[in-house]
Structure 1
Amino acid sequence: MNITCKNCHQTFKGHYCSNCGQTAETHPINLHFLWHDIQHGLFHFDNGITYTAKQLFTRPGHSIREFIEGKRVKHFKPISLVVVLATAYIALIHLFHIDVFVKTEQNSIPNYHIDIDQLKEWMISHFAWITLAFIPLHTIGTAICFRKQGYNFIEYFVLNTYKASQKLYVAILFIPILYHFSGTPSIDKVTKTLMLIDFVLYFWTNVQFFNYLSKTKTFLLTLLTHLIFWFIVFLIAICALLIIDKV
C-alpha cells in the first residue's frame, strides 16, 4: 500500500519514507508520546544504553569491532555515552556528598602554590571533560602499540571511548562502596581496586577486539599502552603545575 509522508509528502512503501526517513506511523501527541520521546530521544534507554551496556560486559571487543565495521543501529553513540555516564557519576557523587580523595591535613602541593582542596573541586566539577580528554591520550598508546593491526587513529579512538564507558559503568556500580568509605584512608584501596578492574576489562576487551593476536602478546601490549598513557599524563601534570605556579 502506498503511503504519503506527512513530513515531505513523498509517496512510498514500507515503514520509512525513502526521501526524508520519517516513519510511516506517527503517534498522537499524548503522555505515551512524551514518555517514548524521553526514552528514545534523550536517553535512548529502549535499545541504546542498556543494549550497549550488555554488549560491553558480555562481548566488549567483538561488539566494538562490529560497531567500527558498520553494525551501529542498536548502539548508543560512543562520545554521547561517555558524557551521559560521566554526568550521571558526578551527579551521584554530589548527591551523596562522596569524597573520593583521602582527607589529609596538607593544604597545598609541596613546592607549588596550589590549594589541594581547590584542585580536587576543579577535578570533580570538570570530570566529564577530563574523562573525554583522557581518551585521545589512551588512543596515542593504543595506536603506537597496536599500529600493525590495520586500524586508524579514529577507529582506535572509538575503541577507547567505549572502554571509557565501560570504566564509567563500573564506577557507577561502585557508588555504594565509595559512599561507605568516603574520605577515609580506605577510599584509596577502593580506587586502586577500580583501577585493577579497569585494566582487566581493558585487557579482556583487547583480547576480543584483536582476536587474531595471542593473549600473551595482547597482555604485554595492553600493559605498554597503559604505561605510555600514564607517562603522557605525568608529563602534562608537571607542565600544568609549572604553568599554574608561574601565574
Structure 2
Amino acid sequence: MNTCIKCNSEVQSNYCPNCGHPQKVERINGRYILSEVTNVLNFQKGILYTTKELLIRPGHNIRTFISEDRNRLVKPIVFILVTSLFYTLFLRIFNFEDAYINYSGTPESTSYAIFKWIQGNYGYSNMIMAVFIALWLKLLFRKYAFNFFEILILLCFVMGIGMLIYAVFGITQGLTGIHFMQIAAIVGFIYTTFALGQFFEQGKAMSYVKAFFAYILGMLSFSIAAVVIGILIDLIK
C-alpha cells in the first residue's frame, strides 16, 4: 500500500482514487517536450482549433465558452499570451513596420517614452487596452448580463486573433516588401467589430455599431490615459 504524495490518501493503483495524482510522474525528456508542444498546437483543443473557431463564429464560440463549455477552446489568457508571443517573434524575424499608434510629442517627455514602449510591446499593450475597451463595452451593452470579467475574456480571444492577423500581414510584408500593415490594421479593426457585435447580438445592426464605438472609445481612452500619466510624471519630476 502506497500513499499519495499530494493528498496522503492510500493508493493501490497507478493513480490516486481521491485526487487523481499519478503515483509515478513521467520523466521530462524529448518525448515529453514534444507531447507538450503538440497539446498546445493540436487541432482538437489547441491554438489552431481555437483560431479556426474564432475566425468562423467568434461570438457563438466565446459565448459557449463563457456559459456552457470551457474545454473546447484554449484558455483565454494562454491564447492571448501565445498569440502575442507569435506576433513579437515574427516582428523580430521580419522586422515589419508596426506603428499603428503614433505620438508626435517631444522625445524628452515621459508621454513619448510611454508611446515608444507601446509601439514596441503591442502584445502587452493590448492586454492593458482591453481593460479600457471592456469598460466601454460594459457601458454600451449594460442591458446584457455579462459582467466585466466575462467581457475581458471575450477581449482576450478577440484581440488574440487580432495579433495573429497583424502577424500574417507582417510576414507577407517582410517576404514581399509591399507595405501591408495599414491593411492589417483595417482588417483587424473590421474583425474586432464583427466579433464583438456577434457576441452580444448577432442579428442586430446596432450591436455592431455599439461594438465599433466601444472599440474606438477604448483605444482613445487608453491613449489619453497614457498621455495624462506621462504629463503627471513630468510635472512631478
Cα distance 1:37–1:234, how it changes in 2: closer, same or farther (>3 A)? closer
TM alignment of 1:170-209, pairs within 5 A:
170-179=165-174, 187=179, 190-209=180-199
Q: CA deviation at 1:60?
A: 0.8
Per-residue deviation at 1:77? 1.0
Aligned with 1:146 (options 136, 141, 144)? 141
One-letter identity of the residue aligned with 1:203: T
1 CA distance for matches of 2:26 and 2:219?
51
2:76 pairs, out of 75, 78, 82, with 78
Letter in 1 for 2:66: I
Partner of 2:90: 92
In structure 2, the partner of 1:220 is 209
Q: Report the counterpart of residue 33 of structure 2 in structure 1.
A: 34
Q: For residue 174 of structure 1, give the secondary structure of its aligned residue in structure 2.
A: helix
- Asked if structure 2 preserves the Cα contact closer than 8 Å seen for 1:48 and 1:75, the reply is yes
* Counterparts of residues 12-161 of structure 1 (less than 5 Å): 18-22=17-21, 31-40=30-39, 44-46=40-42, 47-101=45-99, 109-110=104-105, 113-114=108-109, 122-161=117-156
Length-normalised TM-score, structure 2: 0.78
In 2, Cα distance between equivalents of 1:89 and 1:169: 7
Contact 2:166 2:188 in 1 (8 A): no
Does 196-205 or 151-160 show the bigger shift?
196-205
Q: Runs of 5+ in structure 2 lacking a partner?
A: none
Normalized against structure 1, the TM-score is what?
Answer: 0.75
Distance 2:98 2:89 in 1: 13
The answer on whether the counterparts of 2:4 and 2:11 sit within 8 Å (CA) in structure 1 is: yes
Shift of 1:195: 2.8
Shift of 1:220: 1.7
Q: Name the aligned partner's letter for residue 227 of structure 2.
A: I
How many residues align structurally?
Answer: 228
Q: Return the match for 2:200 from 193, 210, 218.
A: 210
Distance in 1 (CA, whole Å) between partners of 2:175 and 2:109 is 29
- Distance (Å, rounded) in 2 between the aligned partners of 1:30 and 1:227: 48
Q: Give the fraction of aligned pairs with identical amino acids, expressed as a percent.
A: 21
- For 1:113 and 1:97, locate their aligned partners in 2 and report how far apart those are by CA, in whole Å: 26
C-alpha distance in 1, partners of 2:147/2:165? 28
